[in-house]
Amino acid sequence: MKNKTRIAVAAALIAGMGTSSALATDLYTPPAGVAVFDEAGTDWSGFYFGVYGEFTHVNVGPGVNVWGVGKRIGYNFDTGNIIFGVEGAAEYQWQTPSWDVQVVGRLGVELGDAALLYATAGVGHVTAPVASNYATVGGGIEYMVTENVSIRGDYKYKAIIPGGAPDSHNFSIGLSYHF
């Protein structure tokens, strides 16, 4: 008789264990209208500062290749999926040697949680081979690797205003810190 009682008690405990784990998930019920899981996207708004390396192909004769390093500072406005802003950059190209400064506007769209596809347009000034003003258009992609750090790659075409140096194709890779 004792064995039958022990078996019955063990069976009841085992059966109760199976239902108690299911009940544990029902302990918290969020109020109506409250999201249980809210995946926040990247906030691109605010100031940022960055450094970059650039390769430039100048359209003169068979072409001249120039390498440079620079820094940029900008401000973005985040309206949801559309990002727009302004950016200033200064670059030193050591083969010429020359300085290249520019101001561009950026307009982009978020791709997923941490990527930004953008277009740029603006104006600039280069000091060599002939001091010249230019107009620039381009685009790129930027990826937020942490909450404040992003990497990016972009292309810009620089069309020199007549009477100056030849136009160029510019490719850069950079790292930025967002405040």
> For residue range 70-95, what is the model confidence (pLDDT) as tens digits?
999 999 999 988 999 999 999 999 88
Q: What is the mean pLDDT of residues 30-53?
A: 78
Q: Residue 129 falls within a domain, yes or no?
A: yes
Q: Residue 12 falls within a domain, yes or no?
A: no
Q: Which residue has better confidence, 9 or 58?
A: 58
Q: How many domains does the chain have?
A: 1
pLDDT of residue 5: 62
pLDDT digit string (tens) for 92-134?
Answer: 998 878 999 999 999 999 998 899 999 999 999 998 777 889 9
Average pLDDT score over the chain: 85
Q: Residue 132 falls within a domain, yes or no?
A: yes
Q: Residue 6 falls within a domain, yes or no?
A: no
Strands (E), the chain: 46-58, 64-78, 82-93, 98-111, 115-126, 132-144, 149-160, 168-178
Name the residue range of residue 62's domain.
Answer: 46-178
Q: Residue 7 falls within a domain, yes or no?
A: no
- CATH number of the CATH domain containing 112: 2.40.160.20
Q: Which residue has better confidence, 64 or 18?
A: 64
pLDDT at 145 over 60: yes
Q: Residue 39 falls within a domain, yes or no?
A: no
Q: Residue 31: which residues within 8 A CB-CB, separation 6 or more? A: none
For Cα atoms 154, 96, 63, give the angle at the middle one, nearest 5 degrees.
65
Model confidence at 162, pLDDT cuts 50, 70, 90, reads: confident
Q: Does the N-terminal peptide bond of residue 166 adopt cis geometry, omega within 30 degrees of 0?
A: no
* Cα 39 to Cα 125: distance, rounded to the nearest angstrom: 43
Q: Residue 174 falls within a domain, yes or no?
A: yes
* Cα 145 to Cα 98: distance, rounded to the nearest angstrom: 32
pLDDT above 90 covers a percentage of the chain that reads 56
pTM value? Answer: 0.74
Q: Residue 52 falls within a domain, yes or no?
A: yes
Model confidence at 38, pLDDT cuts 50, 70, 90, reads: very low
